[in-house]
Amino acid sequence: MHNKRMNYYIAISLIIGTVIGAGIFGIPYAMSQAGLLFGLLNLIFVGTIVTFMTLYMGEVVMRTKKESQFILLAEKYLGKPGKWLMFLSMSAGIYGALTAYLVGIGQSAAHILGGNPIVYSMIFFIFAAPLIYFGLKTVTEIEFGLTSALIAIFIIISLALLPNVKLDNLTYYDTGKALFPYGVILFATLGYSVVPEVSMILKRNGRKLMSAIVTAMLICISIYALFSISMVGTLGTNVAEIATNSLNGIIGELGTVVAILAMATGFLALGIVLKHIYQIDLRINPKISWGLVVFVPLIIFLVFSPSFVTAVALTGTYSGGLAGILCSLMAKEARKKGDLNPKFVVPGGDALIYISIIVFAVGMLLQTMMLLS
């Protein structure tokens, strides 16, 4: 019984560690532009939809006899097109994150040290690229360990700022930017990819898996809400794109250092994952795989010069949106073609699946219209 309880807590921690990352640094800025009310409504809405998306992934895993990662699950239930669309979603998401981290590291380093952010981004790239080539195993362990530090820093900052919250900052809103936080929040709430691993930890106990997903997502959403309320309530529209860069003093410097570490380890961990996919799954030459991983985001960074929030928002909207559609479709097909009948099924039937698909599709459509306008 003790081991089962510990596994349950480990599963929740793993989901939280996967969800909470560098995306949280962009949420307060996005909310400050729309207004806290619209921002929190986006957080509740997107958080709910992504929770169902993650639950759908859990149901797919529970209906599949063979333990498989999500790309193979996509192939099983959606065929070859599903496999390649899931690969496209995942690779686009990683490239978007790598680009955002390059931007964010440069801006955060310049905030502490002064100087040109691009120079710091390039210095980091020069050191990071060889590490991705050699694929250090300790990177993912460090990244997971940093999650506890991130959460602690967010809570400390939030509690320190709450006494300075001003009513005017809480009531400000801009209807023209009501949906501005959507893509950033979607990026920051995605954690579906870890579900197969969590399922194995819980020994394929469907009810425990669903409970762990809901609990972990509620914790993540609550942390995002607390951090955003304190930041926006204190600073209003003066929140920087990387929230910790708005702060001064020891807390601000500590937050910025943790942000740099989080983005640096995230860059390395995601880069190694993508390199392994190219090298092992697609059987591409190791050096070419490495080149595809490190130089694509560098080119995007140098040619398009996206802001941190823009890179995060576009990645969340398109990569996350496509993944959400695929997970919903996989759940629908798994209910017909699955090997097993799980004890727990995500409620709402096909109607909720279709609603989820429409939400993700509309999000991508609206983002495209904003880009073209």
pLDDT in tens, the chain (373 residues): 557 788 888 889 888 988 988 899 999 999 999 999 999 999 999 999 999 999 999 999 999 988 777 788 899 999 999 999 999 999 999 999 999 999 999 999 999 999 999 999 999 999 999 989 887 666 656 666 677 778 888 889 999 999 999 999 999 999 999 999 999 999 999 988 888 888 888 887 878 999 999 999 999 999 999 999 999 999 999 999 999 999 888 888 888 988 898 898 889 888 988 998 888 778 899 999 999 999 999 999 999 999 999 999 999 999 999 999 999 999 999 999 988 888 788 999 999 999 999 999 999 999 998 888 7
- Cα(59)–Cα(206) distance, integer angstroms: 8
Are the C-beta atoms of residues 117 and 107 closer than 8 Å to each other? Answer: yes
Are the C-beta atoms of residues 321 and 363 closer than 8 Å to each other? Answer: yes
Contacts of 373 (CB under 8 A, 6+ apart): none
- Cα(358)–Cα(324) distance, integer angstroms: 10
* R_g (Cα) of the chain, nearest Å: 20
pLDDT on residue 138: 60
pLDDT on residue 134: 83
Q: Is the dihedral of CA 16, 8, 76, 71 positive or negative?
A: positive
Name the CATH superfamily for 2-372.
Amino acid/polyamine transporter I (1.20.1740.10)
Which tokens belong to 183? 């893509």
C-alpha 271, offset from chain centre: 15
pLDDT on residue 321: 96
pLDDT on residue 120: 97
pLDDT on residue 143: 61
Report the greatest alpha carbon distance in the chain.
59
Which tokens belong to 280? 């092992």
* 187-203 per-residue burial string, b: 16 or more CB within 10 A, e: under 16: bbbbbbbbbbebbebbe
Task: With 0.85 as the threshold, say if the pTM is over it.
Answer: yes
DSSP-derived 3-state class of residue 241: coil
- Cα(244)–Cα(262) distance, integer angstroms: 12
